[in-house]
Chain A
Amino acid sequence: MTTDGDGRPPPDSAAPPDSAAPPQSAPILDQAFDAGSLYTLRAAVVAHATEAGLAPGRADDLVIAVHELAANAVRHGAGHGRLRIWRSEAALLCEITDDGHPDAQDAQDAQDAQKVPEWRTEPGHGLSLVRQVADHTSMRSGRDGTSATISFALAAPGPPFRLDRQEMDGCTVLAVTGPLDLASAVQLSRTMEDVLNDDDKLVLDLTNLTGWDSAGLASLITAQQQVSATPNARMILAGLPAHLEQHLRQAQLRDRFTLADSPIQAAKTVSEP
């Protein structure tokens, strides 16, 4: 978590604490929450996300991100908080604030209470998933409370999903066009199984990939795991657009994949003995 200069949360106004947001606009959703109203908060978020044009998979991602941040405020912060969502032309911007004093010991006690002694619990919490699904995430924490801001880009008009398969220099190139999401990810997964039956050198050409949701991201992770489990198989992701590569880094998933700038370069590399 980062703390802003004077350790205070952003001023309480209609404008979110992010220069990317429309400073003058009113939020499309402004809702207080506590432990008893997380369900209604999720229902309101999914309704507004869908209304704003987020595809079903992205709307689910927004819901889990807001829920995790709100639940964090309830459990480790003031016990209640406030969600505001603004809509700009390009994105939905969500701010979750609470005015609590996140006491380090209380937070630790709360976490300890959640542990089930028989099972090994993994470090980390909902925040890592928030970073995986949101386009941008920022946190501020100070004496007067905490504030988390996440943004979800609204899909720009683009080509529909398509998957093209061709052979190049002794390897198989799968080119993805359009969004890799809840609706299309299953096609990539099925094709991956077919390809791995025929060939163990694979280039995934993502030059024309326009975006993904968690289902799309999961299908890439699963594809890499299938490749890793196949003896001698290799897969290189080629031409991943810069903003999506940046997202991979933020999600701490970049190291799982081998990237190349172009399909031609990837085909050369993947075919090397």
Chain B
Amino acid sequence: MTISADTQITDLTVDDHACLTFGEPEDLFDLTAAFVRDGLDGGLKVVWLSDATPDRATAELARRGIVVDEALASGQLVAASYEGRLLAGQVFSTGQAMTWLAREMATAGDRGLRLAVDMSWALGPVTGVEQLPEFEEKVAAAVAGTTVSVLCQYDRERFDPVTLASVAAFHTRSVAAATYYADVMLRICRQYAPPGIRLAGELDYQAAESLALALTEAIRLEGDVTVNMAPLAFIDVACARMILDAARGLNPGTPLRRMILRCRPGLAARFVLLGAAEIPAVRLVTVDDH
């Protein structure tokens, strides 16, 4: 069992310059969605630079419950590519990037700014990539004491440890998804948008302790709890029952807290046979096979 000692994405505040490391696209989109959601809720301007097209990026946010249309229309939310911001063609220069950042900070003004930058641009054949640590250092200096927070997003599978170590020192915090269990067969981690947990792989009673911890922490938060099992191929009766027992234990007060079980049709049937539909808090949502 592994428990991350990193800061939670939902704990970030103004003038943080945080370093997010992720292991798979699902993590990146989930954590970014929570960062964007909390920024929009706080009335901040939110900008996300990534190598996804703006349409794909905003679709991934919408899929996780972020109301993007209004925020895009009003300019509160911007999803954009690196070109003309961090990069000019395939050339990076700290000077140009900092000029862009200063302009964004000025535009946002007193309202405050949340900026998320997928750093995968630095993995491409880019001239000037050696200026990356210098850039991170300047960002740290620029946002200190302001109403701006920056989230630099590094793929820990693709960036080498030396590069990650060289930029880490310039960040105020390190952020990663809370992971309760991870091996080649199974991953149990926190999901941030919508809040809950995500289960991937094959889950049986041998990981019940980690599942119990993940459920307990998810339930401690307010609101509905999503148990995202879309990437789960197998669940045994002990673990399925534990999830249903957790749903039974959600306080049926007002407003009613729900537990949303997202899973493939075969697993949904298993939950029905185990009595899911008789539990008022449970909402079963079937997803298509990948």
Interface residues of A (CB under 8 A from B): 35, 38-39, 42, 56-57, 60, 63-64, 67-68, 71, 75, 114, 116, 118-122, 125-126, 129, 132-133, 182, 185-186, 213-215, 217-219, 221-222, 225
The 10 closest A-B pairs by CB, nearest first: A218-B269, A218-B272, A126-B237, A119-B245, A215-B269, A214-B269, A119-B249, A60-B266, A225-B277, A116-B212
Partner of A116, one of B205, B245, B269: B245
Q: Which residue of B lies closest to A67 (CB)?
A: B236
**Is there contact, CB below 8 Å, between A182 and B266?**
yes
**Is there contact, CB below 8 Å, between B265 and A35?**
no
Inter-chain residue pair count (beta carbon < 8 A): 90
CB contacts (< 8 Å) of B245 on chain A: these are: 116, 119-122
**Is there contact, CB below 8 Å, between A42 and B234?**
yes
**Is there contact, CB below 8 Å, between A129 and B202?**
no
- Can you sample 26 A-B contacts with CB below 8 Å? A39-B202, A42-B234, A57-B266, A57-B269, A64-B234, A67-B236, A68-B237, A71-B238, A75-B205, A116-B212, A119-B245, A119-B249, A120-B245, A122-B244, A125-B238, A182-B269, A185-B269, A186-B265, A186-B286, A214-B273, A217-B269, A218-B272, A218-B273, A221-B272, A221-B277, A222-B272
Q: Chain A's nearest CB lies how many Å from the CB of B103?
A: 52
Q: Does B287 contact A (CB under 8 A)?
A: no
Digitize B261-290: 1 where CB-to-A-CB distance is under 8 Å, 0 elsewhere.
000011011101111011000000010000
Whether A126 touches B277, Cβ cut-off 8 Å, given contacts A75-B205, A114-B208, A214-B270, is no
Q: Does B242 contact A (CB under 8 A)?
A: yes
Q: Which residue of A lies closest to B274 (CB)?
A: A129
Q: Which residue of A lies closest to B213 (CB)?
A: A116
Q: Chain B's nearest CB lies how many Å from the CB of A83?
A: 16
CB contacts (< 8 Å) of B234 on chain A: these are: 42, 63-64, 67
**Is there contact, CB below 8 Å, between B238 and A126?**
yes
Partner of A120, one of B185, B208, B249, B266: B249
CB contacts (< 8 Å) of A68 on chain B: these are: 236-237
**How distant is the Cα of A75 from the Cα of B236 in the complex, in angstroms?**
14
**How distant is the Cα of A114 from the Cα of B268 in the complex, in angstroms?**
23
CB contacts (< 8 Å) of B277 on chain A: these are: 221-222, 225
Q: Which residue of A lies closest to B185 (CB)?
A: A39
**Is there contact, CB below 8 Å, between A122 and B241?**
yes
Interface size on B, residues (CB 8 A): 31
Q: Which residue of A lies closest to B202 (CB)?
A: A39
CB contacts (< 8 Å) of A42 on chain B: these are: 202, 234
Interface residues of B (CB under 8 A from A): 185, 202, 204-206, 208, 212, 216, 234, 236-238, 241-242, 244-246, 248-249, 265-266, 268-270, 272-275, 277-278, 286
Partner of B238, one of A56, A63, A114, A221: A114
Q: Chain A's nearest CB lies how many Å from the CB of B274?
A: 7
Partner of B273, one of A114, A121, A186, A217: A217
**Is there contact, CB below 8 Å, between A125 and B237?**
yes
CB contacts (< 8 Å) of B202 on chain A: these are: 39, 42
Q: Chain B's nearest CB lies how many Å from the CB of A126?
A: 4
CB contacts (< 8 Å) of A217 on chain B: these are: 269, 273
Q: Which residue of B lies closest to A68 (CB)?
A: B237
- 20 more A-B residue pairs beyond the given contacts A35-B206, A119-B246, A214-B273, with a C-beta to C-beta distance below 8 A: A39-B202, A57-B269, A64-B237, A68-B237, A114-B238, A116-B242, A116-B245, A118-B249, A120-B245, A121-B241, A121-B245, A122-B275, A125-B237, A129-B237, A129-B274, A182-B269, A215-B266, A219-B269, A221-B273, A222-B272
Residue with the highest number of chain A CB atoms closer than 10 Å, among B269, B273, B277: B269
**How distant is the Cα of A57 from the Cα of B185 in the complex, in angstroms?**
22
Q: Chain A's nearest CB lies how many Å from the CB of B137?
A: 47
**How distant is the Cα of A14 from the Cα of B146 in the complex, in angstroms?**
76
Partner of A64, one of B236, B246, B248, B275: B236
CB contacts (< 8 Å) of A114 on chain B: these are: 205, 208, 238
CB contacts (< 8 Å) of B275 on chain A: these are: 122
**How distant is the Cα of A68 from the Cα of B241 in the complex, in angstroms?**
13
Q: Chain A's nearest CB lies how many Å from the CB of B241?
A: 6
**Is there contact, CB below 8 Å, between B204 and A67?**
yes
**How distant is the Cα of A185 from the Cα of B242 in the complex, in angstroms?**
26
**Is there contact, CB below 8 Å, between A71 and B242?**
no
Q: Chain A's nearest CB lies how many Å from the CB of B234?
A: 7
Q: Which residue of B lies closest to A125 (CB)?
A: B237
CB contacts (< 8 Å) of A214 on chain B: these are: 266, 269-270, 273
**Is there contact, CB below 8 Å, between A38 and B241?**
no
Partner of B236, one of A120, A126, A132, A218: A126
CB contacts (< 8 Å) of B212 on chain A: these are: 116
Q: Chain A's nearest CB lies how many Å from the CB of B201?
A: 10
**How distant is the Cα of A186 from the Cα of B236 in the complex, in angstroms?**
23
CB contacts (< 8 Å) of A119 on chain B: these are: 242, 245-246, 248-249
CB contacts (< 8 Å) of B244 on chain A: these are: 122
**Is there contact, CB below 8 Å, between A118 and B270?**
no
